[in-house]
């Protein structure tokens, strides 16, 4: 008999208040792991690391040991923000010529070929080692237990597995894990990952050396080579995460701190610079006009993203010029308030997937972490690295083979990432940590959330639950069915090709956020009911 869950898939979430700490994550068990760390005296970095390890277990199709991660860390005592780039690089054998010789002229979306070096493990370890206070064994304990003992399959997870059943059935290890007895995991079943548990235990005991140079590295590389992939032991051994300085701009009196390239965080700042010149009252007075302006600003921002953003170690990116208010005004002038522009983006259309998860953590000292991690597409390349239980990413697919393009494939290069964690400040005081999965939709989702939040008028949870739109190609506009029909008619009159989706579509992301109310000494946590997000505070 099929088990039924008691909670509807799209139940509303409360606005959660806490005085001593807060964790907002893409799964309740992950948020709980982080909160337990805070209760035991850990700080925000400890909580974020514990939550990240746990997310790799409870949402393995969205992030994991086979993927990448980015973090922004605010240290209250120092009064500054640092970033951690834990994204991997292309294997040494990954060349344009290799893929052209294969005859297809493109990078495949599935299998082992599109796998880059997984950087997340090094990032999670580095985050806690530099900014945390607890040993990795403690921070990894919840993830190990959940991988060994299992956890209940939710409706959402079961739906995601079923939707990718054809992909998962192609590989024996993936099918054995996610399609037991030849059918997808069912709601209410217990899901165990013994291979992943063994790897987690090994890393907890031996650290990064085990994963990047030791037995885990050897197992991953041997699997990839056996299956015709490009990743080698040397590629894994060469990996290093980087500590970076965030980029920032301002929007209506607030500082918006973003992750620099190779992240697409620049595109969010570009869009906000464009929108800042429009009348702020439009959001409430004329929703259709405001939505139109947001959509058009997003098109311009992503066009610049596709032209400029890649690995800053390999290409020159004119950050100062792109972030200037003068450039924002120049781009703003290209928007026709009465007409939707045709496709203005350049570059290849990337595959979309529910490929990412975001979390935020805050502690009693006022420290904040804004963190995001991913394996690119849902279930990555659809392959599990042998007995390790690790789903491998397919991030190489984000590169292009086009001559002269900033994001052209090169060995050892980092690709442009859609991942972009955000921190918002008012002067020197933190106000918000926020982020969302959604691949191509991340910037436009965050534009909607940030403008609604910073223009005022609604609490954080209402902002997160408000109906959303998404525009990926040309004038095609996906909208949640809760947006009023009068607004949709006005958008259609401007040339947007409107298509209604569900009332709570996971295509529209999964926003988690922590607001800081310094005057009251409180944290306010919000989480997105479109997926499995939960905020927990104390």
In a domain, 70, yes or no: yes
How many other CB atoms are found less than 10 A from the CB of residue 276?
Answer: 18
- With a cut of 70, say whether residue 328 has pLDDT above it: yes
Q: What is the mean pLDDT of residues 318-345?
A: 92
- With a cut of 80, say whether residue 93 has pLDDT above it: yes
334 confidence band (pLDDT: 50, 70, 90): very high
Q: What is the mean pLDDT of residues 271-282?
A: 92
| pLDDT at residue 11, rounded to an integer | 65
Q: Does residue 108 sit in the same domain as residue 215?
A: yes
Q: Does residue 76 sit in the same domain as residue 183?
A: yes
pLDDT tens digits, 104-127: 789 999 999 999 999 999 999 999
| pLDDT at residue 4, rounded to an integer | 41
In a domain, 355, yes or no: no
Looking at 368, 398, 428, which one is the last position of a domain? 398
Q: What is the mean pLDDT of residues 487-501?
A: 96
Query: How many Å apart are CA 191 and CA 153, to the nearest integer?
Result: 6
Q: Does residue 238 sit in the same domain as residue 253?
A: no
In a domain, 112, yes or no: yes
Q: How far is CA 285 from CA 250, 281, 282, 493, in A?
A: 23, 6, 5, 18
Q: What is the mean pLDDT of residues 143-166?
A: 97
Contact 119, 69 (CB under 8 A): yes
| pLDDT at residue 2, rounded to an integer | 40
| pLDDT at residue 529, rounded to an integer | 95
| pLDDT at residue 10, rounded to an integer | 59
Q: Does residue 235 sit in the same domain as residue 250?
A: no
Q: Does residue 107 sit in the same domain as residue 239?
A: yes
As a whole number, the mean pLDDT across the chain is 94
Query: How many Å apart are CA 354 and CA 63, to the nearest integer?
Result: 10
5 confidence band (pLDDT: 50, 70, 90): very low
Q: How many domains does one find in the chain? A: 2
9 confidence band (pLDDT: 50, 70, 90): low
pLDDT tens digits, 250-262: 999 999 999 999 9
In a domain, 61, yes or no: yes
Q: Does residue 277 sit in the same domain as residue 213?
A: no
Catalytic positions, written as ranges: 356
In a domain, 82, yes or no: yes
Q: How far is CA 166 from CA 139, 225, 532, in A?
A: 35, 24, 24
| pLDDT at residue 474, rounded to an integer | 82
| pLDDT at residue 456, rounded to an integer | 76
In a domain, 408, yes or no: no
Q: What is the mean pLDDT of residues 23-41?
A: 98
Q: Does residue 486 sit in the same domain as residue 505?
A: yes
pLDDT tens digits, 211-243: 999 999 999 999 999 999 999 999 999 999 999
pLDDT tens digits, 522-535: 999 999 999 999 99
Cβ-Cβ contacts under 8 Å for 59 (sequence gap 6 or more): 26, 27, 30, 157, 357, 532
How many other CB atoms are found less than 10 A from the CB of residue 517?
Answer: 11
Q: Does residue 215 sit in the same domain as residue 291?
A: no
Residue 159 phi, psi dihedral angles, 5° rounding: -65, -40
User: For residue 433, what are the β-bridge partners?
Assistant: 423, 514
Q: Does residue 525 sit in the same domain as residue 502?
A: yes
| pLDDT at residue 208, rounded to an integer | 98
6 confidence band (pLDDT: 50, 70, 90): very low
What CATH number has the domain bearing residue 271?
Answer: 3.60.20.40
| pLDDT at residue 472, rounded to an integer | 87
350 confidence band (pLDDT: 50, 70, 90): very low
Contact 509, 480 (CB under 8 A): no
pTM: 0.95
In a domain, 393, yes or no: yes
Tokens for 142? 């919840």
Q: Does residue 174 sit in the same domain as residue 321?
A: no
In a domain, 411, yes or no: no
Q: Are strands 522-527 and 512-517 parallel, antiparallel or unpaired?
A: antiparallel
User: For residue 8, what are the β-bridge partners?
Assistant: none
423 confidence band (pLDDT: 50, 70, 90): very high
| pLDDT at residue 355, rounded to an integer | 66
Q: Does residue 153 sit in the same domain as residue 295?
A: no
Tokens for 291? 């939505």
Q: What is the mean pLDDT of residues 140-167?
A: 97
- With a cut of 70, say whether residue 100 has pLDDT above it: yes
Domain of residue 483: give its range: 245-339+420-537
Q: Does residue 442 sit in the same domain as residue 471?
A: yes
439 confidence band (pLDDT: 50, 70, 90): confident
- With a cut of 70, say whether residue 489 has pLDDT above it: yes
């Amino acid at each position: 008999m099929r088990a039924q869950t008691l909670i509807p898939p799209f139940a509303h979430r409360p606005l959660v208040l806490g005085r001593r700490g807060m964790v907002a994550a893409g799964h309740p068990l992950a948020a709980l792991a982080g909160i337990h760390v805070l209760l035991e005296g850990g700080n925000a970095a400890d909580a974020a690391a514990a939550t990240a390890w746990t997310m790799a277990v409870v949402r393995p199709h969205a992030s994991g040991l086979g993927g990448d991660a980015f973090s922004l860390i605010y240290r209250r005592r120092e009064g500054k923000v640092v970033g951690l780039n834990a994204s991997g690089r292309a294997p040494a054998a990954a060349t344009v010529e290799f893929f052209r010789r294969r005859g297809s002229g493109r990078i495949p979306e599935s299998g082992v070929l599109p796998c880059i070096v997984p950087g997340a493990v090094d990032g999670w370890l580095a985050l806690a080692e530099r900014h945390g206070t607890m040993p990795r064994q403690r921070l990894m304990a919840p993830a190990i237990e959940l991988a060994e003992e299992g956890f209940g399959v939710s409706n959402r997870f079961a739906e995601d597995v079923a939707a990718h059943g054809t992909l998962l059935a192609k590989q024996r290890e993936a099918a054995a894990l996610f399609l037991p007895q030849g059918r997808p995991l069912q709601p209410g079943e217990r899901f165990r990952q013994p291979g992943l548990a063994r790897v987690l235990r090994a890393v907890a005991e031996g650290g990064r050396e085990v994963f990047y140079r030791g037995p885990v590295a050897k197992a991953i590389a041997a699997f990839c080579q056996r299956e015709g992939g490009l990743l080698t032991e040397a590629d894994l051994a060469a990996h290093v995460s980087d500590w970076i300085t965030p980029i920032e701009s301002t929007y209506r009196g607030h500082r918006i701190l973003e992750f620099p390239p190779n992240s697409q965080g620049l595109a969010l700042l570009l869009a906000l610079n464009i929108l800042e010149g429009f009348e702020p009252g439009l959001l409430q007075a004329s929703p259709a006009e405001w939505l139109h302006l947001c959509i058009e600003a997003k098109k311009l921002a992503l066009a610049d993203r596709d032209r400029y953003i890649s690995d800053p170690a390999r290409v020159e990116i004119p950050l100062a010029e792109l972030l200037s208010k003068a450039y924002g005004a120049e781009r703003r002038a290209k928007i026709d308030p009465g007409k939707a522009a045709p496709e203005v983006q350049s570059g290849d259309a990337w595959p979309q997937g529910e490929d990412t998860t975001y979390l935020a953590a805050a502690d009693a000292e006022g420290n904040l972490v804004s963190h995001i991690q991913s394996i690119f597409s849902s279930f990555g390349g659809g392959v599990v690295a042998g007995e390790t239980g690790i789903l491998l990413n397919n991030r190489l697919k984000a590169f292009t083979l086009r001559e002269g393009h900033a994001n052209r494939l090169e060995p050892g290069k980092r690709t442009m990432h859609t991942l972009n964690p955000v921190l918002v400040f008012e002067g020197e005081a933190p106000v918000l940590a926020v982020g969302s999965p959604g691949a191509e939709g991340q910037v436009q989702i965050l534009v909607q959330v940030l403008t609604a939040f910073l223009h005022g008028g609604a609490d954080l949870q209402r902002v997160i639950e408000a109906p959303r739109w998404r525009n990926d190609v040309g004038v095609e506009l996906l909208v949640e069915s809760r947006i009023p029909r009068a607004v949709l008619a006005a958008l259609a009159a401007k040339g947007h090709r409107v298509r209604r989706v569900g009332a709570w579509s996971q295509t529209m992301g999964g926003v988690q956020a922590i607001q800081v109310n310094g005057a009251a000494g409180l944290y306010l946590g919000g989480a997105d009911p479109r997926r499995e997000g939960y905020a927990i505070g104390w």
